[in-house]
Structure 1
Amino acid sequence: MPRLFIFTTAIVVGLVASYLGTLHCHLNITKLTDSLNPSQLMVYRNARRRRLIYFIVGIILAIIGMILFLCLSSSPLYPRIINALIILLLTPMIVYTLFPKSPYMLEQTDINNQETKHWFSVYVCMKNGMVYGFCVGFIVALLVLTVAQLLIGRS
């Protein structure tokens, strides 16, 4: 397996790990939304719905881009699949980041200081989950694939 394949495969693993890295934050979100009053809950749901729409638009664009890439690319199968997966995983992140978003829910509602700290800890958890998930997934995959290549090369 050439080095470029190892690198791009590690990127795919890192992107998958970045999505998975945010999953542990959702338990805190559930607890915090249960403590919101009806008007706060409405603001939260509207912000969540808007951001979900942005993510879905990103997925749709990613699927279109991936299909176009797969149809138009003449590269060998494995690199084509890996690059298509990178398109599929990275495009929603880019679209979500570029679309304008409303201010944080905390800026639109009356929430006490303790609740504010808890909500900001969720925002930090999501950001860190994405960043650390990618870094850990990428580095581990890079190491495993490199070692596997070395072991296969020796046999």
Structure 2
Amino acid sequence: MINSEDAGTLFAMREHLLDTLLDLPSPDWIASYQGVMRQEEAEARQAVATSTKASHPGQGPSLPMAGYVGVYKDPWYGTITIGKTGNALSIRFDRSPGLDGALEHVQHDTFRTRFSTPGYEDAYVTFALKPDGRVDRISMKAVSPVADFSWDYQDLQFTPAGEP
């Protein structure tokens, strides 16, 4: 009935339709779900603020910025490109226009995306290193604890594209 991923709207419509079909009194489901969604958003903002305060940007990174640069592949997604401009890193999801932007150092070998497209869910990008100091793999995790399934970064495991 609606072209939306707004869970509150979908749930409110579902509850209202059920109430109507079952001939039950129907409370204000929109207001009820709006309260739930606002609470989740407030908790998510608090969690992001807390994680930002807990970071230690003075610790790391382990490599000079050029050591992270390269093309990395995931068996499911394909490739991403980590680039360098000046002393800053960038990320580009090669198959997904708009999923590109700066990588901001958080701590150790973890960076945060700052995607250029508004509304795209930022992620933590963590580089795991081999004993010789080269990048072994990249894992990702959405910054927001309430990121929806469209941003299942945790399912991606990138490895250097030039290696078997």
TM-score, length of structure 2 as denominator length: 0.34
Q: Larger RCO: Structure 1 or Structure 2 (Cα < 8 Å, ≥ 6 residues apart)?
A: 1
Higher strand fraction (1 or 2): 2
